[in-house]
Structure 1
Amino acid sequence: MKKSIIALGILFTGITYAQTGVVGINTDAPKTTLDVSAKRDASGTLTDTGAVGLIAPRLTREEVTAKEAIYTEAQIGTIIYVKDTSAGDANGSRKYMITPGYFVLTKNVTDGSLLWEKIFTASGYQNVYKNDNEIADTRTVTQADKSLTFRSSGDGKVIMENTTATATSQVTPLRIVDGGQAEGKALFSDADGVATWKTFAPKSVVGKVAAAARSYDAADKVWLVGSGATITSITLPPGKWLVIAGTTFNIRFGDTKANVGSATFANSYDSGYIAEFFLSDDQSEGATSIQANITQDAETLASGDKKSLFSVPVPIWSSTNYGFGQQVIHNTTTADKTYYMKMFIDSTSKYQSNPATVVPIIGSEARPTGDTSTPGQVYVFQPFGSTVGEKVLYAIKMADVK
């Protein structure tokens, strides 16, 4: 009996139980229900020579798994240290029990089930900003009146990816809802990167066509279509545009058809030249200013190059013809820019149905048999003029996709 009393005395050495229902270990003035203090002398100097600390019960995940039925709501708040996770499972309340560490038993606020939550340290805390991992449940970030900003520098990128999405998925990987979204709207950005939902409508521009026909006196020369204030042109804002143009036209000598023998001139309907129509950003005319630095679909065309809207055969005598084509123009400036319609008739592009009887002419070239006009007289060429119809000149804005 005496030995038992001594053993109990040793067991309770350093433990104080106050009348207030609090317990102190190595302190006679516990400040909470359980107050564990290191051993100190009267001056407060530490007298413990061994390790100081508090160790929670150390279990393996296998042991926690075996005790699953024992833990109920009565044990909420229990703290344990899981020292090994190689066995057991991470199911149910243990779904976060992946790596060793301290765990506290809590209640899942979503469904009321019990859950072992891991107690992380600052260095061991894992999140989507530090570690690659996956979330265990659906998460919602409610911003209220606060902002959520993702800021990057250098080559940093923000990537949203759904690796299992299919064409028949009902939920897309990305959803942006701010109240302005609607069917058919697109997200547009301003210069500061502020995005706004807007209705996408392709922009178009209508050009100006010459009001009257004009006389052209020579081949191998670039001509503006029109003159003065009536030059055929189109003004395009910055960006990439698809320009579409078309016109009926005819061409004839400076004299009248009555001066030409009809019988011998009939074959001239099958004779003539090839005329090219294109756009230029200057108003000069002449043999050397065919096209001045037009940026066309990422290809800069130096002066002297031709990119035609369309090329058409030009019969010698009053035969009405029609030309139609398109050209991509890229206005790389920050302001509206005017592009002028030009025409080039190449003397080397002659074509004849019967060379023996018909000689295509322009300027001072020889006339066909039966032609009584004076060499050197001008042609009256009528593209985009008031005497012809079916003339169009317009542009449609293209998406700047890179």
Structure 2
Amino acid sequence: MFKNSTKLCVAIGVMNSFIAFAQTGNVGINTTTPGSTIDINGSVAAKYSAVSTTPYTLTSTDFHVSYNGSSNAVFNLPPAINGVGNFKGRMYTIKNNTNFAITVNAAAPETINGSTNVSIPANQSLQLINTGLNGANSTWETISSGSTLTASNGLAITGNDVKLGGTLSQDTDIVTAGNNLSITGTGKVLVGNNTTPTGAANAKMVIDNGTTNGAIQIKDGTESLGYVLTSDSNGLATWSSTVTTAFANNWTSYSGTLTNPFTAATGINGVATGISLTIPAKGWYFIRSGVAINSGCNDYFFYINGIGDVWRSYCGSNTAAFMFPRDQNRVLYFATPGNYPVLAGKTNGVIPAGFDVGNPTFYLDFVKFQN
């Protein structure tokens, strides 16, 4: 009996020596020369959990948690402990295996890198470590894994380097808020292909839609069926109708009701007539008009301010007579569509004895014939 007790005491003494050594030195597993506090010469396993419910609260038994749910999720971190039980250095890895977002919340008033929460985008991961602090402090810090991540909005992240590129896995709206978005430099912008096609050596933008119709759409309010994109002298393009034959019976008459503008006893100019031309698109227009005026010597004219005359008769006799020519044609260019008032004037105080008399009576119509 005494001999067995002696052996037990020796065994306990050896164990105590080993435990004391482990507390003050390095511990090796599969190695006799550990170089760190714990030196493991082999693989390491930690708990792996997969969850699909939300919200989820991380516990002391979690290490790696993967989310496989069907909606946006909320993960809550445990509150820090002050004193005994403090878990400074505890690490969590959270992997989002869905197309939804995970919001990770710190326990108030604690923070994660100074923020109350962080977001894990679709198909991304986050690693956290506990700082041992509590209260209104950064109780948790994020750890960069250094791996390459592809953001859902087409950004690629490698460590601390964020680059344009990657897969665009969701709709992305760039709101300029009144600011200009510029792409400058000597390169090109290629849409639909990443190879410059033949003939596009000097092009700054190339749109390649293969063999599918409808590679580009431009809407500015001037578009219409059969219209073509037409440039002005500054290169500003708008939609306008194609060439129209002036003799295709597509004539449009003036709008409004004509009021005799020649009743003043003096020379007049810029007098409203009550009529106008509604021009549907920019371009060249053929205009025809006619009016019979019985008057003494005078010059009478109808015109569109800034565009030109649509009808003018010059004094050819000092006696009352029908003013000639009664039927007239004009070719005028309108730079923009819109409604154009027809104005009138005369050169002296002669008041016509008759206006809009004889044959023909007043008429005014027009047709577009060229862009």
Give the alignment's TM-score, normalised by structure 1.
0.34
Compare relative contact order (CA 8 Å, sep 6+) and give the higher one, 1 or 2.
1
TM-score by length of 2: 0.36
More strand by share: 2
